[in-house]
């Protein structure tokens, strides 16, 4: 029973966190990948900590309090940095799920290592490991993901200003926990109470933001698409802007830009529709036409070029959330869970 007690609590918390997300923003496949990233980070941390502890020759307690948090949080957070920069996170809740999943993967490896190293430890040791350090790892990386994702939305891809404060906060959480200002059992109990409360607040705030974004974005996309399909766009400011592009681009390029705009809007509406269906408990079947539309979108992107995309910038929303929804839809094109 030692291994299940030390491993299952953090995985159960992760499963509960994902189940609480009514929009199912993070597919199961990506959750597993984030857990695997945490497993890899734990293995790399083991090697790095062994090397640094031998080189620095400091007291083990000092190393665990002040050095290992830097090593471990850096390796855990690297995966979240990649996800944020690649626009794979759209809201704080999916960032939190990815962060907690990476921390959970790390905790699984670490707890197995400690159990193997301490074969005579009692059941209390497994309980403390399962509800203490394991939840700490998940929480620290989730906090990094939440803070960095929020900062990225406000400041854009400014690496130092976006990620460094969140990284230092995760290190501080880890370091404070390793100081054991209170007993290990009390630390575990505080995490059992505090982690669900924190994630509930994050989830509620994120869902309010998502509902607002869906409402405004869906209406705006549908209105613009209807004007393009019906041909009523010519008498609007959008039509005037497209006509003005003829002074800078050939007529066939402007036509390709209009087709690109239409396809982008169709995919955007499709992505928002999937989220609305998930909110109501339905999982839409894979759309075989989505792959063809993405292929056509890339073809038109090549025809209009970078200059054409920049010219369309005033008409299309290119925020991190809008790029995220296209990434989400692209991942579903082959029906992957």
- Burial class from Cβ neighbours inside 10 Å (0-12, 13-18, 19+) for residue 54 reads exposed
DSSP structure string for 32-86: HHHHHHHHHHHHHHHHHHHHHHHHH---HHHHHHHTHHHHHHHHHHHHHHHHHHT
Is residue 336's pLDDT more than 60?
no
**pLDDT of 322:** 67
- Burial class from Cβ neighbours inside 10 Å (0-12, 13-18, 19+) for residue 333 reads middle
284 against 76, higher pLDDT: 76
Is residue 326's pLDDT more than 80?
no
**pLDDT of 244:** 77
CA atoms within 13 A on the CB side of 99: 31
Residue ranges per structural domain of the chain: 2-208, 231-331
78 against 89, higher pLDDT: 78
Model confidence over 97-155: pLDDT tens digits? 999 999 999 999 999 999 999 888 888 889 999 999 999 999 999 999 999 998 987 77
**pLDDT of 216:** 61
- Burial class from Cβ neighbours inside 10 Å (0-12, 13-18, 19+) for residue 245 reads middle
Across all residues in the chain, what is the average pLDDT?
A: 85
Model confidence over 239-253: pLDDT tens digits? 777 777 777 788 888
**pLDDT of 217:** 64
Is residue 235's pLDDT more than 80?
no
Round to whole Å and give the CA distance between 24 and 331. 14
Round to whole Å and give the CA distance between 54 and 59. 11
**pLDDT of 112:** 94
**pLDDT of 330:** 67
Round to whole Å and give the CA distance between 259 and 73. 45
Lowest mean pLDDT segment, chosen from 90-94, 102-106, 153-157, 321-325: 321-325
Confidence class of residue 206 from pLDDT cuts 50, 70 and 90? confident
Average pLDDT over residues 159-176: 93
Predicted model pTM = 0.77
Is residue 43's pLDDT more than 80?
yes
Confidence class of residue 16 from pLDDT cuts 50, 70 and 90? very high
Lowest mean pLDDT segment, chosen from 38-47, 154-163, 278-287: 278-287
């Amino acid at each position: 029973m030692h291994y299940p007690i030390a491993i299952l609590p953090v995985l159960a918390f992760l499963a509960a966190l994902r189940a609480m997300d009514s929009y199912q923003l993070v597919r199961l496949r990506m959750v597993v990948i984030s857990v695997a990233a945490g497993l890899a980070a734990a293995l790399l941390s083991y090697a790095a900590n062994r090397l640094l502890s031998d080189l620095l020759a400091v007291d083990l307690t000092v190393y665990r309090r002040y050095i290992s948090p830097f090593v471990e949080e850096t390796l855990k957070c690297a995966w979240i940095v990649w996800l944020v920069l690649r626009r794979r996170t759209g809201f704080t809740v999916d960032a939190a799920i990815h962060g907690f999943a990476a921390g959970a993967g790390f905790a699984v490896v670490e707890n197995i290592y400690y159990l193997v190293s301490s074969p005579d430890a009692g059941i209390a040791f497994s309980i403390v490991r399962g509800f203490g350090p394991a939840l700490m790892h998940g929480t620290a990386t989730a906090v990094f993901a939440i803070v960095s994702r929020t900062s990225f939305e406000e400041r854009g891809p400014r690496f130092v200003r976006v990620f460094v404060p969140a990284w230092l906060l995760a290190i501080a959480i880890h370091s404070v926990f390793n100081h054991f200002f209170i007993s290990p059992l009390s630390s575990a109990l505080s995490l059992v109470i505090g982690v669900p409360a924190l994630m509930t607040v994050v989830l509620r705030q994120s869902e309010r933001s998502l509902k607002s974004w869906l409402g405004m974005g869906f209406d705006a996309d549908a209105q613009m698409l209807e004007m393009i399909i019906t041909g009523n766009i010519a008498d609007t400011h959008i039509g005037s802007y497209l006509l003005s592009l003829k002074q800078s681009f050939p007529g066939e390029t402007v036509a390709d830009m209009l087709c690109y705009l239409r396809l982008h809007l169709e995919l955007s509406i499709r992505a928002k529709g999937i989220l609305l269906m998930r909110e109501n408990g339905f999982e839409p079947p894979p759309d075989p036409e989505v792959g063809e539309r993405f292929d056509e979108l890339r073809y038109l992107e090549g025809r209009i070029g970078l200059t054409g995309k920049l010219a369309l910038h005033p008409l299309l929303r290119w925020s991190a959330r809008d790029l995220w929804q296209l990434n989400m839809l692209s991942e579903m094109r082959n029906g992957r869970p």
